């Protein structure tokens, strides 16, 4: 039997009030977050907590993610980082290392597969996880009680907590590490090529500057600026928080 679950993260301002969530159905989901973290931290934490919640089961796990950073971390980069003493190809330390180490431990011995899904495109599981992760970040922002879920019946209630993260310096652009690592490692396992044929918005010709081109209809442009106004951020900041 295969459990299909979506995992997603959210950060307002990025870094800022942040949330994570995984979702299988209305009886099996969970969410949490921090007062200040990055979107990538939320994306990784969502996957970590999904593996922890299902650790007592003997089912295969299909993880749906809209974060290429998370999928590349798990399927392409983690093994090399670990072999280098948790250093990247250029010798620099790996970002979000505490969560990544815990994720590496949680996945050991598990049968799993990751699949990329486009975010905010109407996928029901992805949308359910996104709503819950964003609700947590909004609760932290507003000082409201943080909403959580039922978890998974039978899961250990006292799973080892992840330390409260400190956003890495300059961690406002969520795709920076993704682009840097993609430049160094063009090896793709066909079985894990989650984005094969998927269009990309990102130009990675320059390792330090990553241009994003996004075409919007007039209605989409209006809605983008209206939502940014409601949240008290610029349109660019809003787009960063959604990536």
Confirm whether 43 is a catalytic residue.
yes
Q: Cα–Cα distance between 87 and 68 in angstroms, integer?
A: 20
164 C-beta neighbours (distance < 10 Å), count: 10
Q: What are the CA-CA distances from residue 143 to residues 17, 18, 83, 139, 147 (Å)?
A: 10, 13, 42, 6, 12
Would you state the structure tokens that stand for residue 28, as one six-digit string?
A: 């099996």
Confirm whether 219 is a catalytic residue.
no
Residues 6+ apart with CB under 8 A from 52: 106, 155, 156, 159
Confirm whether 186 is a catalytic residue.
no
Out of 30, 49, 102, 130, pick the active-site residue.
130
> For residue 33, what are the β-bridge partners?
19
Contact 177, 47 (CB under 8 A): no
Confirm whether 85 is a catalytic residue.
no
Residues 6+ apart with CB under 8 A from 241: 10, 11, 12, 13, 14, 16, 39, 233
Confirm whether 42 is a catalytic residue.
no
Confirm whether 218 is a catalytic residue.
no
Out of 27, 56, 90, 120, pick the active-site residue.
120
Out of 13, 30, 32, 66, pick the active-site residue.
66
Out of 19, 28, 43, 168, pick the active-site residue.
43
Contact 1, 103 (CB under 8 A): no
Provide the annotated active-site residues.
Answer: 8-9, 43, 66, 120, 130
């Amino acid at each position: 039997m295969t459990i299909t679950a979506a995992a997603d993260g959210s950060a307002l301002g990025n870094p800022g009030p942040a949330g994570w969530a995984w979702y299988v159905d209305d009886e099996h989901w969970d969410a949490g977050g921090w007062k200040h973290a990055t979107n990538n931290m939320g994306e990784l934490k969502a996957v970590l907590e999904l593996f922890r919640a299902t650790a007592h089961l003997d089912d295969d796990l299909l993880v749906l993610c809209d974060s290429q950073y998370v999928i590349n971390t798990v399927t392409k980069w983690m093994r090399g980082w670990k072999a280098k003493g948790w250093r990247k190809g250029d010798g620099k330390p790996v970002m979000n290392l505490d969560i990544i180490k815990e994720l590496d431990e949680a996945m050991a011995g598990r049968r799993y597969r990751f699949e990329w899904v486009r975010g905010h495109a109407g996928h029901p599981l992805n949308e359910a996880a996104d709503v819950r992760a964003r609700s947590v970040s909004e609760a932290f922002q507003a000082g409201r009680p943080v909403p959580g879920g039922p978890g998974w019946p039978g899961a250990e209630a006292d799973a080892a907590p992840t330390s409260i993260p400190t956003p890495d310096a300059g961690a406002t652009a969520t795709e920076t590490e993704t682009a840097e690592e993609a430049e160094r490692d063009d090896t793709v396992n066909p079985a894990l090529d989650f984005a094969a044929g998927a269009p990309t918005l990102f130009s990675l010709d320059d390792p330090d500057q990553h241009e994003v081109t996004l075409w919007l209809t007039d209605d989409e442009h209006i809605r983008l600026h209206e939502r940014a106004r409601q949240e008290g951020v610029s349109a660019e900041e809003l787009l960063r928080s959604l990536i």
